[in-house]
Structure 1
Amino acid sequence: MDLRIFTEPQQGASYDTLLKVAKATEDLGFDAFFRSDHYLRMGNVDGLPGPTDAWITLAGLARETKRIRLGTLMTAGTFRLPGVLAIQVAQVDQMSGGRVELGLGAGWFEEEHKAYGIPFPKEKFARLEEQLAIVTGLWATEVGKEFSYDGTHYQLEKSPALPKPAQGKVPVLIGGHGATRTPRLAAQYADEFNMPFASLEDSERQFGRVRAAAEAAGRKGEDLVYSNALVACVGKNDTEVARRAATIGREVDELKANGLAGSPAEVVDKLGRYAAIGASRAYLQILDLDDLDHVELISAQVQSQLS
């Protein structure tokens, strides 16, 4: 199973902090560094020094890392126009030498839109569907040809559809718990389907829906990568686990039930159960970005047992 480090910078992280985590991610052998796309803190944290933009962050990291994949879980469709997003992602992909992946979602956190003056439309899912069509359509258009799109929410006329990503096709991630529309969109556009913060039972059910939707769309169910995003809280002993849980304001029992918490052996066992239902990749949500010993422990005693 591939392990990827997943961060939530809106909770409080500077670019320099994210750079340290990304470099540790690369040095310790993890597959990728991903980040959320939010502009407002959540919960009882001060969020200092303030938000960082996802794609500006990834542009910087693209020039300061060499191997790891870079991406978002998930870019909010409400934050960017699809044509502009296609340009941004393609440029960061070029800057990284072809290591970028785009997780794209509808956007959901209304308070951050109010806080920064971003429109929060009611018809977010319909807009997301058009955004996926436009972004992937722009990238797929042959050089020298034009791309046009006449949708309900977006219209493009005679776009040169430039620039192109370095890797040709940027992998697209779609995720979520929706029973009908989400699997359909994943079947049509996704290279990977991600199930965020879900139980084994819910993940297995949703993976099945996505496989069925893919087959109905003329694809093989196994054409997609299936993954989970889960909070990580690993310790060498119970005391260390409890300390790390307290630092992020969570209870150990709750983390063990809903995330990847406990000793390395416990976490390896739980990851094995996710693998048994079809997940081949896990995004480990690291909430204390100053605790690089935590990342090192996961590399040495969890990742080493999965390769």
Structure 2
Amino acid sequence: MDLRIFTEPQQGASYDTLLTVARATEDLGFDAFFRSDHYLKMGDVSGLPGPTDAWVTLAGLARETRRIRLGTLMTAATFRLPGPLAIQVAQVDQMSGGRIELGIGAGWFEDEHTAYGIPFPKEKFARLEEQLAIVTGLWGTPTGETFSYSGTHYELRDSPALPKPVQAPLPVLIGGMGAKRTPALAARYAAEFNVPFSSAADTERQFARVREAAEAAGRAPSDLVYSNALIACVGKDDAEVARRAEAIGREVPELKENGLAGTPAEVVEKIGRYGAVGAQRFYLQILDLSDLDHLELIASEVLPQVS
């Protein structure tokens, strides 16, 4: 079971803070550092000093880390045109020496689009489908050949399809709870399927849909990695769990119901429940980025028992 650290910088984090957490992620033995791709805070937080761009951040971290994998959970397809996105991700993969993963989704938070003048189209899922075809098509085109695409929303003519990422193929992550279109898209394009913030029972149902879609597409279901994203709030005892829950404005019972919260033993037991329904990887959503002791506790008391 891989454990990855997942941050939400739109809630309030500078690049320097993210770098500190990424270095701790690497030093403590976690598999990867991921971040959300949002431009507006959510909920009753200050959001200061303001948003950081996901791919600018990852470019910096690519040069300042050596081992951990880096990626987005999830880049919004509404934020970037597919051609420039393919260039950005390929370049950052080169800068990292081949450690980048592209998590991509349709985009959903209308307010952040309005706040920064980003169009918020109605046909978001259809645009995501075309973006995946274009990005993977550009990367997969042999060097020296050109790539063209004619869709409803995007058109490319005789693109040189450069630059190429180091990885061939570069892993693409798709996630969500859609019953039909999302599993079908994952079966066609994804190296990994992620279920965000859901119960083990709902996870099991969604993993089954993805496996069925993979088989229908002529692909072995085992070709994909199956993962979960859940909030983490771990303490050496109940008092420490309560303190960490208060720091992020959440209640302990709710966190235990909906996330990975409690003592290390409790969290290991719950991870096991998800593992029993097919989860192979966890993205631990860490909301208090100043609490590096939290990461150290998970690394010392949880990671050895599940990896």
TM bucket normalised to smaller: over 0.9
1:273 alignment counterpart: 273
Distance in 1, Cα, partners of 2:130 & 2:204: 28
Shift of residue 154, structure 1, vs aligned partner = 0.2
Identity %: 79
Unaligned segments of structure 1, at least 5 residues? none
- The CA RMSD over aligned residues, in Å, is 0.4
2:233 alignment counterpart: 233
2:171 alignment counterpart: 171
Deviations 1:167-225 (A, max 9, x none): 22110000001001000000000000000000001000000000000000000111100
Q: Does 1:17 align with 2:17?
A: yes
The alignment partner of 2:240 has SS state of helix
1:121 alignment counterpart: 121
Distance in 2, Cα, partners of 1:54 & 1:304: 30
Matches within 5 A, 1:100-179: 100-179=100-179
Equivalenced residue count is 307
Distance in 1, Cα, partners of 2:68 & 2:28: 11
Letter aligned with residue 27 of structure 2: D
2:34 alignment counterpart: 34
Letter aligned with residue 128 of structure 1: L
Q: Does 1:74 align with 2:35?
A: no
The alignment partner of 2:298 has SS state of helix
Distance in 2, Cα, partners of 1:21 & 1:169: 28
Letter aligned with residue 70 of structure 2: L
Matches within 5 A, 1:233-252: 233-252=233-252
Letter aligned with residue 7 of structure 1: T
Q: Does 1:302 align with 2:302?
A: yes
Distance in 2, Cα, partners of 1:279 & 1:135: 27
1:195 alignment counterpart: 195
Q: Which runs of 4+ in 1 moved over 3 A?
A: none
Letter aligned with residue 108 of structure 2: W
Distance in 2, Cα, partners of 1:111 & 1:246: 27
Letter aligned with residue 8 of structure 1: E
Distance in 1, Cα, partners of 2:200 & 2:66: 34
TM-score under structure 1 normalisation? Answer: 1.00
Distance in 1, Cα, partners of 2:180 & 2:169: 26
Unaligned segments of structure 2, at least 5 residues? none
Shift of residue 147, structure 1, vs aligned partner = 0.2
TM-score under structure 2 normalisation? Answer: 1.00
1:205 alignment counterpart: 205
The alignment partner of 2:168 has SS state of coil
